[in-house]
Amino acid sequence: MKRLLALAMLAGLLTGCISSDQQVYGQIDGTEKTITVPPGNAMLVGELKGRLHAAGWKLVVDHGPDKISGTIGETTELSSYNTYNTRYRLMIAQTFADYCMLGGKVIVYNLSLIDNKTGEEVMAQSGRDCTGPAADKFMSSLGAK
């Protein structure tokens, strides 16, 4: 029994504190399942891209064309901005922290889901968690598994 308790305590020390926080600020329009995602497939990026694709989302890794608009005249005013060909945009910052006891990686992460039509942040999530549970939490906020 002591051996089992010591093993459980050691496992807890090795994985550290696992926790994440999520704030949902708006609704996801399920009729427009297009999203700009970061390129690559490392850690949480790959996990989320695989799940989004399986849930029927169209994944795009680049924004649309840069636009310059304004008026030319006596006082010329021009502004430059990016355009997006998707309804949503996923931004992720992540760092490897450890290995999960049951496989996978522990990451420290911060992500935002942005509505490109309105510019609003629809959802934010951050924490120190295994990639699988972090992806579960994100996908559940989209109404998908």
Give the residue-averaged pLDDT of 69-96. 84
Task: Determine contact, residues 129/104, Cβ cutoff 8 Å.
Answer: no
**Predicted local confidence at residue 9, as pLDDT:** 57
Sorted by where each begins, the domain ranges of the chain are: 16-59+87-141
The crossing angle, in degrees rounded to 10, of helices 43-54 and 131-141 is: 40
Q: How confident is the model at residue 102 (pLDDT cuts 50, 70, 90)?
A: confident
CB neighbour burial string for 40-67, b if at least 16 within 10 angstroms, e if fewer:
eeebbbebbbebbeeeebebeeeeeeee
Q: Are 124 and 9 in contact (CB under 8 A)?
A: no
**Mean pLDDT calculated for residue range 52-61:** 96
CB count in 10 Å sphere of residue 125: 21
Predicted TM-score (pTM) above 0.85: no
* Class of 16-59+87-141 in CATH: alpha beta
